[in-house]
């Protein structure tokens, strides 16, 4: 047989995943069946899993492969069954047996017609009386890759030493166990907090102290260092810092990039976000333009189910071509080529929120590829996004992203943002309202606002956020009660009063209820209607804030917001022209070196 080349290794679960999440790698069950010519009690090890199935259709669509083989490293006698799976609109999933044979020791099995299947997986049958030892294996091809890429894994961090040092250790250990990859990948960290010790630097890891320029500034600093590294990198992989990593996924990205067809060589290869606290729960891999923002193409679901694995990998061609809107890949795990950076420039100085969205929309002409077993484990966004991020940076940055990459949307922006202001004012969240106003005022300043000192800007915004006073809730029963309480039911006459008195602003106080409760992170407006004071609880932190109706503030923020939105609407064409003029400068290395103070 000719030489075989790895495409994706079969990985056995290690101690970090046992016992709760072993089924991400392999699932075991007992059965009585024919083993050879004898009815036998057997163990069946299924590798139709998130970590070990083979995304056959994806590989054969985008990669230049030869024949496909399954190589197994097993001690003892066993039976192997290889099957191909197709998603079907009527029957959900159809499995077809491709190979069934008895084996002894190491084996290599050719897979017939692999391109016909969404996924290919296998099962191992073991005689319980004669146990085997499974060391692993690999999905292989007999065709050598036309490239030999090098990968820079780039992370930016701000005072998250525990997460970062853990991931550095995993990366270093991975390269120690795989010495042939030592010169194929490097871990580059931009330390925005300047708190990581120099001792973490090594031949495999480079740490660069950086100003706190947010995620955009940190990732861009890492990209600049990768571009000028003594190693010549072909691809970069941007990855969040507050994640748990699976270094094998870096190798899978690298291997696939080596086999991409010429027309797909600049494709994005990205990873899924999976829940850090429920490691089988898939959250997102592809975002699709939705309203003013984006939403996940696939719904959250468990990856213990093989059908779900195939579903979340299924990104139809019409979606790639933009029939549902522009697509987005989050920078929790996003890989693209160095040539793309040279072609399209560096990211925009957005500080945080929307930087990955703008980069994705800038590169929507490219194919976005996802693979199973390529992911990070990330804490859910719910409860984690601050008011500064959600009320200021999101609004400002998505405005510029829309301005640069979509057609006239000024009517949509005015309507959408007017709803945002009304919403926070109706919930007595005047700090959020103030941050919204600051975002609108900065939009009217034009693109020069993106050049402002990022550390001073964040300090100014954070001083507004700190006006919120959180109190400790020592009553755990109260937290439980608030977390499950239904939406407040507003009496019909109160709704009528609320409506005819301009959302209660002209209603006498005597008609208001005295107090109520709500849950933080976009609580329902009915929890505030005709109530003077509302305690808003954050279930994650166990703290709450007290929000009180202030009719003067409510009137002010609505009037101020409307005036600013009208001005943006009237000056829209001017703002668009200025943004597109500044765009080229803001994405150059010259600008970024000055912005980050790299030449001082």
d(CA 28, CA 557): 60
Tell me what the mean pLDDT of segment 265-292 comes to: 94
Does residue 388 carry a pLDDT above 90? yes
H-type alpha helices, 247-372 = 248-259, 306-313, 317-320, 338-344, 355-362
> What sign does the CA torsion over 325, 326, 330, 335 have?
positive
Top-confidence residue, 540 or 550: 550
Architecture of domain 151-378 in this structure: Alpha-Beta Complex (3.90)
Q: Tens digits of per-residue pLDDT, 56-95?
A: 999 999 999 999 999 999 999 999 999 999 998 777 899 9
555: helix, strand or coil? helix
Among 140, 135, 175, which Cα is nearest to 26's? 135
d(CA 109, CA 112): 9
d(CA 8, CA 112): 18
Range with the poorest average pLDDT among 68-72, 424-428, 429-433, 516-520:
516-520
Does residue 55 carry a pLDDT above 90? yes
Give the E-state strand segments of 338-482 in sequence order: 368-378, 471-472
How many residues appear in the chain?
600
Among 558, 332, 272, 257, which Cα is nearest to 436's? 558
If pLDDT is split at 50, 70 and 90, which confidence band does 1 have? low
Residue 540 has a pLDDT of 81
Kindly report the CATH number that applies to the domain delimited by 5-141.
Answer: 2.60.120
Does residue 385 carry a pLDDT above 80? no
Q: Tens digits of per-residue pLDDT, 107-165?
A: 999 999 999 999 999 999 999 999 999 999 999 999 999 999 999 999 999 999 999 99
The DSSP secondary structure of 276-287, one letter per residue, reads SSSTTEEEES-E
- The two structure tokens encoding residue 180: 């042939």
Does residue 382 carry a pLDDT above 80? no
Residue 90 has a pLDDT of 76
The DSSP secondary structure of 206-248, one letter per residue, reads EEEE----HHHHHHHHHHHHHHTSSS--SEEEEE-SSEE--TH
Does residue 380 carry a pLDDT above 70? yes
Q: Are 327 and 365 in contact (CB under 8 A)?
A: no
Residue 490 has a pLDDT of 82
Residue 588 has a pLDDT of 98
Tokens 């976000």 -> residue: 273
Among 76, 95, 70, 72, which Cα is nearest to 85's? 95
Does residue 452 carry a pLDDT above 80? yes
Strands 301-302 and 281-284: antiparallel
Give the CA radius of gyration of the chain.
27
Q: Are 553 and 430 in contact (CB under 8 A)?
A: yes
The gap from C-alpha 206 to its chain's centroid, in whole angstroms, comes to 24
Q: Are 355 and 216 in contact (CB under 8 A)?
A: yes
Range with the poorest average pLDDT among 29-38, 89-98, 544-553:
29-38
Tokens 């693109």 -> residue: 447
- The two structure tokens encoding residue 203: 């031949």
The DSSP secondary structure of 468-493, one letter per residue, reads ---EE---HHHHHHHHHPPPPPPPHH
If pLDDT is split at 50, 70 and 90, which confidence band does 208 have? very high
Does residue 582 carry a pLDDT above 80? yes
Q: Which residues contact 457 (CB under 8 A, 6 or more apart)?
A: 351
Q: In percent, how much of the chain has pLDDT > 90?
A: 82
Cis, peptide link before residue 252, omega less than 30° from 0: no
Q: Do domains 5-141 and 151-378 have the same CATH topology?
A: no
Does residue 501 carry a pLDDT above 70? yes
Does residue 283 carry a pLDDT above 80? yes
Predicted TM-score of the model (pTM): 0.93
Residue 373 has a pLDDT of 96
The helix (H) or strand (E) run that includes residue 137 is: strand 133-141
Q: Are 351 and 44 in contact (CB under 8 A)?
A: no
Does residue 17 carry a pLDDT above 80? no
- The two structure tokens encoding residue 201: 């630097």
Average confidence score pLDDT of the chain: 93
128-130-131-135 Cα dihedral, nearest 10 degrees: -140
Q: Which residues contact 556 (CB under 8 A, 6 or more apart)?
A: none
Q: Residue 237, exposed/middle/buried by CB under 10 A (0-12, 13-18, 19+)?
A: buried
Buried b (16+ CB within 10 A) or exposed e, 191-212: bbeeebeeebeeebbbbbebbb
- Phi, psi torsion values for 111, nearest 5 degrees: -100, 120
Q: In percent, how much of the chain has pLDDT > 70?
A: 99
Does residue 535 carry a pLDDT above 70? yes
DSSP-assigned letter for residue 391? I
Domain range list for the chain: 5-141, 151-378, 387-573
Q: Are 353 and 389 in contact (CB under 8 A)?
A: yes
- CB atoms inside a 10 Å sphere around CB 71: 17
95: helix, strand or coil? strand
- Phi, psi torsion values for 22, nearest 5 degrees: -60, -30
The order of strands in the sheet holding 287-290 is: 293-296, 287-290, 327-328
Residue 384 has a pLDDT of 65
């Amino acid at each position: 047989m000719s030489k075989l080349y790895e495409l994706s290794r079969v990985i056995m679960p290690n101690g970090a995943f046992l016992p709760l999440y072993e089924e991400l790698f392999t699932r075991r069950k007992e059965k009585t069946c024919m083993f050879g010519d004898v009815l036998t009690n057997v163990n069946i090890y299924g590798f139709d899993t998130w970590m070990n199935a083979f995304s056959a259709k994806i590989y054969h669509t985008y990669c230049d492969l030869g024949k496909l083989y399954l190589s197994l490293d097993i001690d003892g006698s066993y039976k192997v069954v290889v099957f191909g799976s197709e998603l079907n609109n009527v029957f959900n999933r159809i499995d077809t047996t491709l190979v069934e044979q008895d084996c002894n020791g190491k084996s290599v099995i050719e897979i017939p017609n692999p391109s016909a299947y969404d996924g290919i997986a296998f099962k191992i049958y073991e005689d319980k009386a004669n146990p085997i030892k499974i060391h692993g294996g690999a999905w292989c091809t007999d065709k050598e890759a036309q490239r030999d890429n090098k990968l820079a894994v780039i992370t930016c961090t701000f005072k998250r030493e525990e997460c970062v040092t853990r991931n550095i250790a995993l990366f270093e250990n991975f390269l120690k166990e795989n010495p042939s990859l030592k010169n194929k990948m490097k871990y580059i960290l931009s330390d925005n907090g300047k708190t990581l010790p120099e001792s973490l630097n090594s031949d495999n890891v480079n740490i660069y102290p950086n100003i706190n320029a947010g995620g955009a500034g940190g990732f861009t600093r890492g990209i600049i260092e990768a571009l000028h590294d003594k190693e010549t990198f072909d691809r970069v992989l941007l990855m969040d810092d507050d994640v748990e990593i699976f270094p094998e996924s870096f190798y899978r990205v690298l291997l696939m990039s080596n086999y991409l067809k010429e027309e797909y060589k600049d494709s994005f290869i990205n990873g899924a976000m999976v829940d850090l606290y429920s490691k089988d729960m898939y959250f997102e891999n592809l975002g699709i333009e939705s309203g003013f923002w984006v939403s996940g193409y696939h719904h959250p679901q468990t990856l213990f189910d093989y059908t779900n694995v195939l579903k979340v990998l299924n990104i139809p061609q019409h979606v790639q071509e933009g029939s549902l809107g522009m697509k987005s890949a989050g920078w929790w795990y996003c890989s693209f080529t160095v040539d793309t950076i040279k072609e399209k420039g560096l990211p925009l100085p957005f500080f945080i929120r929307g930087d990955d969205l703008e980069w994705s929309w800038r590169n929507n002409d490219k194919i976005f590829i996802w693979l199973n077993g390529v992911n990070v484990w990330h804490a859910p966004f719910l409860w984690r996004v601050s008011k500064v991020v959600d009320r200021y940076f999101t609004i400002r940055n998505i405005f510029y992203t829309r301005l640069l990459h979509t057609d006239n949307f000024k009517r949509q922006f005015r309507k959408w943002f007017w709803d945002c202001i009304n919403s926070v004012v109706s919930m007595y969240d005047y700090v959020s309202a103030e941050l919204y106003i600051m975002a609108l005022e900065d939009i009217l300043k034009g693109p020069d606002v993106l050049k402002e000192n990022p550390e001073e800007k964040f300090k100014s915004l954070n001083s507004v956020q700190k006006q919120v006073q959180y109190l400790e809730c020592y009553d755990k029963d109260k937290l439980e009660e608030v977390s499950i309480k239904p939406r407040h039911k507003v009496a019909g006459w109160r709704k009528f009063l609320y409506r005819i008195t301009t959302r209660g602003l002209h209603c006498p106080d005597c008609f208001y209820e005295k107090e109520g409760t709500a849950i933080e992170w976009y609580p329902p407006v009915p929890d505030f209607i005709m109530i003077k004071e509302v305690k808003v609880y954050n279930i994650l932190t166990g703290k709450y804030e007290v929000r009180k109706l202030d009719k003067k503030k409510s009137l002010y923020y609505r009037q101020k917001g409307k005036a600013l939105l009208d001005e943006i609407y009237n000056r829209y064409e001017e703002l668009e022209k200025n943004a597109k003029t500044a765009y080229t400068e803001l994405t150059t290395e010259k600008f970024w070196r000055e912005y980050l103070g790299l030449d001082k």
